[in-house]
Amino acid sequence: MSLIPDSSGAVEGVPKLLSEPRYELMPFDSFGEQMDHLPDGATIAITTSPTLGLEATLEWTEKGAAAGYEIVPHIAARYVRDREHLAEVVDLLADAGVTDLFVPGGDREEPVGEFESAHDLLVALDELNHPFEEIGITGYPEGHAFLSEETLTGAMAQKEPYATYIVTQLCYDPEAVVEWVGEIRDRGIELPVEVGIPGVLSYQRLIGISKKVGVGDSIEFLRKTTSVVGFVRQLIGSRGVYTPDELIEGLAPYVNDPAYDIRGVHIYTFNQVPDTENWRERLLDERL
């Protein structure tokens, strides 16, 4: 698919992306405090923590849903013991009013039970006749640190029949995102895409996180605006804080193009909600 941005839709694209984003929070002790800074009824994705396991995700799911938020728990396949455990999780989520679920593979080297991959869990969910209206899966615009492009392509084709949308891994380069969306469309993947973007963070912390999740090319994108000197100037001029303005501006022209079907953004807040919300509200005020 050729990249032909709709310049006429760029102005409308920013509000569409930022009006009702999905906020990702980690189920740490700071969760409740961070949640209080979000808009009423906001959609919150809750990760599965390698250190806290699935229990913390489920606990905050119940609390967040009771507080009136739309909760999208991450049920990572490698953290689910077996089909009986999965059925218990499904019942708990249904009782909490959850209608949207995100299914990644999980960061554990060894699964705790019988589910090796997201596909394994998706199949088991389907066999349970789950009640969820939406199920999300992961997309990798810049590939995966440990999986080949061929493996990722095959995995997405396997998972697509069980899912209703894709959330992309962290990426700072809008061209890389839209190129990847074009490629999956050419392969026949038609699921709508929610683009994963970083929230407002210090450059130092953001680069550290990016290295941990294997986002190599995007780190270079942060530097390449006007070479290393430009990167240093940007860092100093911003007081060492990254804001995703350029990423949003680069995605905006494609938002209203049905061929891409980019339906919104998924903000990786890293539990730094106030700064991210201040940025989002500021950018919306400028465009509305």
> At residue 181, does pLDDT exceed 70?
yes
Question: Domain check: are 237 and 248 in the same one?
Answer: no
288 lies in a domain? Answer: no
pLDDT at residue number 121: 98
Ranking 192-201, 219-228, 249-258, 272-281 by mean pLDDT, the lowest is 219-228
Domain of residue 82 covers 7-200+243-281
Q: Looking at the structure, do residues 134 and 232 belong to the same domain, yes or no?
A: no
Residue 188 zone, left/alpha/beta (φ > 0; ψ -120 to 50; rest): left
Average pLDDT score over residue span 131-145: 88
Do 235 and 265 have their domain in common? no
Whether 89 maps to a domain, the answer reads yes
**Domain count for the chain:** 2
Do 75 and 158 reside in the same domain of the chain? yes
Same domain, 207 and 250: no
Residues 99 and 137 placed together within one structural domain of the fold: yes
State the CATH number of the domain containing residue 73: 3.20.20.220
pLDDT at 230 over 50: no
Question: Both tokens of residue 260?
Answer: 């891409």
Structural domain includes residue 189: yes
Q: 94 with 188, same domain?
A: yes
In sequence order, what E strands does 32-150 have? Answer: 43-46, 70-73, 100-102, 134-139
Q: Is residue 18 part of a domain?
A: yes
Model pLDDT, residue 150? 73
- Confidence band, pLDDT 50/70/90 cuts, at residue 109: confident
For residue 182, being part of any structural domain is answered with yes
Could you give the CA distance from residue 9 to residue 12 in angstroms, rounded to a whole number? 5
